[in-house]
Structure 1
Amino acid sequence: MWFGTYTGKPPRGNGIYVSRYDEITGEISRPKLATKIKNPSFLVVHPTLSIVYAVSEIADLNGKPTGGIISFVVDMRSGQLTQQSVQPSQGKGPCHLSLDATGKSLLAANYGSGSVICLGINDDGSLLPPVATTQDKPGGFIQHAGTGPNKSRQQGPHGHSMNATSTGKFAISCDLGADKVFVHKLDVPTAVITPHNSTPTQPGGGPRHFALHPRLPFGYANNELDMTVTAFRFDAAEGRLQKIHSVSTIPDSIQERTGFSTAEIAIHPSGKFLYVSNRGHDSIALFGINEQSGKLSLKSVEPTRCQTPRHFVIAPGGKRLYAAGQASGTITAFTIDSKTGKLSFNKQILKVPKPVCIVFSRPISSTPKKP
């Protein structure tokens, strides 16, 4: 498993770290530096190749006003990473990555510039430059537009995530600054994205990340600024979202929420439960999912035992969850009750400097040659 970190102000990380994960016990080995890179704040692993992709969340790449997207070849014996290819993100502050189910297209969001990008992927996992976008012809780049009522955070668009649907026909993008969830048409073979429609969230909510239900026509966006999660019905054929409701990620009894914000969202592989991390409150909210209506019900809020849980991940198999505490420099581990979804802290705490993303390796079917 790998950990992305922030590498700016101390205490800071130095790049991407790697640990070995014991699937039986859940134990994680002491992390080692896998590669040096500036601000690898989000990672994703190719579904079939031994390739890890990372954003470099910066605003200047080789003298150009853009961040970077980098592919790395994995040494499966050590977990060390060797840089394979680099492409500019076509915007400042890339903060999120995802892949379509086939691993042929990579999707990324630029927070600083409020844009999203799609890159094609070669057979060896290396990244292709985006298809040129013109006024007359769509390509691999879309510039969002919009503002929100929060003057300090919503003065313009801030693309915060983009995920392909299971069919690969559409890509869903949350924009924190515009208070909108965009749906773009996606053509995986050509890596072209085309604006399709958008659905507004509540003013000042600031949608951040999106999770599609694995088998039901529902999707969920955590709103960073107002500590809520919004449920949507998703028409997969037409690529349209319809808002169902929004619910708080912390108990209503907590009135003082200064400095609080949501960060990550994930649905359990069973499809029964949804989790959202709360920064400031330093907790993970557990929701039950109504399979008929898609509505959410808050079941519990579990302390993360780490500070500023910017990210968390559900381990393969759905039995464990690991949270990344950006401010505390720690990873904390939990077991998941398969019947209730409840988290139980297992007392394992791992030190990683400024951790902000966690990903697991996947079964490898082929390994490209190192450059």
Structure 2
Amino acid sequence: MADLSSSRREFLKLAGLGLAGWPVAAAAGGTRAGRPQPAYLVYVGTYARPDADSIFLFRLDPKTGALTRLRAEKAGENPSFLALAPGHRYLYAANEVSEYQGAPSGFVSAFAIDPRTGGLTPLNQQPSGGAGPCYLRLDGTGRAALVANYGGGSVSLLPVAPTGPVQPPAATHPHRGAGPNPDRQTAPHAHCIIPDPAGRFAFAVDLGTDQVLGYQLDAAQGRLTPLAAPAFTARPGAGPRHLTFHPNGRWAYLINELTSSVSALAYDAGAGTFRELHTLSALPAGFTGANTCADIHVAPNGRFVYASNRGHDSLVVFAVAPGSGRLTVVQHMSTQGKTPRNFALDPSGTILLAANQNSNTIVTFRINAQTGQLTPTGRSAEVPAPVCLQVVPDFTAK
């Protein structure tokens, strides 16, 4: 991500205008335990003008990778990052703007989801607690929305009412510090905040300070209490961006935007801290062009880690060593578009969907369950400036 004062601001301005020891996943396509493989719904957040269609809904056919557009919703300006409540009754968007109701803040929008159509009904909006909110995540209970404010260099917790609306921030914490990169790290830039698997801690990744900051999380009481020391400090100038946990809860993986690398981490669930296992390049050997990393996900079966490169415009596939959590590069695959900001895997780990922000496409890939390798399905969909993908089982009436 570029600093709001540089390339990111310019883009927003234009928008305003096979391994042993692991279970083997079911084969792609066909049936699963004698039953047809279910379809999925895909919600897409975008950069968009205030009056434009800005959240899109598609149906994904996991047998073919085909995406069928179902709806387009007007959800305000730049609903760039999306999160769904447990049970998929509500959807939340981080509207990535620098000012809301005259204050230096973005905002969070809440929507009720129509169980028949997947359509959205606006519930309310609340300030995000800082400018440029770029990441949004609900805790496992659905009681708290956690927001990372990139431009404001802060994180916030917004309580969520049982009927879906978000409440004003109950806690907002500005980050402190800077990093060595003179273009990107002159101030804090919170880029991600996620709960740990137990819901005891939340971890905020700050690109500007090269830190992962830990918080005690009490979703029921709306509390987010900073820990005394950083949970992890990345290498100087790394610019950490997103963090994700392995399904076993013992490992985590951190993507570093500025050095185009991925760090494998061991997680101490008692202390709320991480220890670096090793760090690998996300780029193929010999590549010398400009690149920044963006997104990272672990396959549902825990055997593979996927990460995206913007510039090289690719997805890198890593195999996870079952005993240690360390990574080995398996493949680099072109995303067949420009600037893969975000991507997602369907819940079965059959299909990967890449959101190519600057070529306005979502491209689908078949995942080999035994090797982790990607193969293009030949299917894609057009979406203006796609930023975030959320894939859920298709709950709509057929």
Judge same fold: TM > 0.5, yes or no: yes
- Which residue number corresponds to residue 29 of structure 2? none
- Which residue number corresponds to residue 157 of structure 1? 188
* Equivalent position SS for 2:330: strand
Residues in 1 aligned to 2:62 and 2:377: alpha-carbon distance in whole angstroms: 15
Question: How many pairs does the alignment contain?
Answer: 353
CA contact (8 A) 1:277 1:283 kept: yes
Residues in 2 aligned to 1:31 and 1:227: alpha-carbon distance in whole angstroms: 36
- Which residue number corresponds to residue 220 of structure 1? 253
CA contact (8 A) 1:13 1:353 kept: no
Structure 1 residue 348 and structure 2 residue 379: aligned? Answer: yes
Structure 1 residue 30 and structure 2 residue 69: aligned? Answer: yes
Structure 1 residue 323 and structure 2 residue 354: aligned? Answer: yes
Deviations 1:175-229 (A, max 9, x none): 0000111111111211211111312101111000001111141111100011001
Aligned-residue offset at 1:253: 1.7
Deviations 1:278-310 (A, max 9, x none): 001000000011122221111111111011000
* Equivalent position SS for 1:327: helix
Task: Report % sequence identity.
Answer: 38
CA contact (8 A) 2:313 2:338 kept: yes
Residues in 2 aligned to 1:116 and 1:36: alpha-carbon distance in whole angstroms: 22
- Which residue number corresponds to residue 257 of structure 1? 289
CA contact (8 A) 1:34 1:79 kept: no
CA contact (8 A) 1:45 1:362 kept: no
Of 73-82 and 100-109, the range deviating more from structure 2: 73-82
Residue identity opposite 1:334 in structure 2: F
2:315 to 277, 284, 290: 284
Structure 1 residue 184 and structure 2 residue 215: aligned? Answer: yes
Deviations 1:292-329 (A, max 9, x none): 22211111111110110000000121100000000100
Aligned-residue offset at 1:32: 3.4
Q: How does 1:291-302 map to 2 (within 5 A)?
A: 291-302=322-333
The two structures, once aligned, show a CA RMSD in angstroms of: 1.8
Aligned-residue offset at 1:114: 0.7
Structure 2 residue runs without a partner (length 5+): 1-41
- Which residue number corresponds to residue 16 of structure 2? none
Residue identity opposite 2:124 in structure 1: S
Aligned-residue offset at 1:35: 2.4
* Equivalent position SS for 2:378: strand
Of 113-122 and 28-37, the range deviating more from structure 2: 28-37
- Which residue number corresponds to residue 2 of structure 1? 43
Q: How does 1:42-61 map to 2 (within 5 A)?
A: 42-61=81-100
Residues in 1 aligned to 2:75 and 2:167: alpha-carbon distance in whole angstroms: 22
Structure 1 residue 103 and structure 2 residue 103: aligned? Answer: no
Residues in 2 aligned to 1:202 and 1:301: alpha-carbon distance in whole angstroms: 24
CA contact (8 A) 2:158 2:166 kept: yes
CA contact (8 A) 2:353 2:365 kept: yes
- Which residue number corresponds to residue 107 of structure 2? 68
Deviations 1:110-143 (A, max 9, x none): 0001100111111112112222xxxxxxxx1111
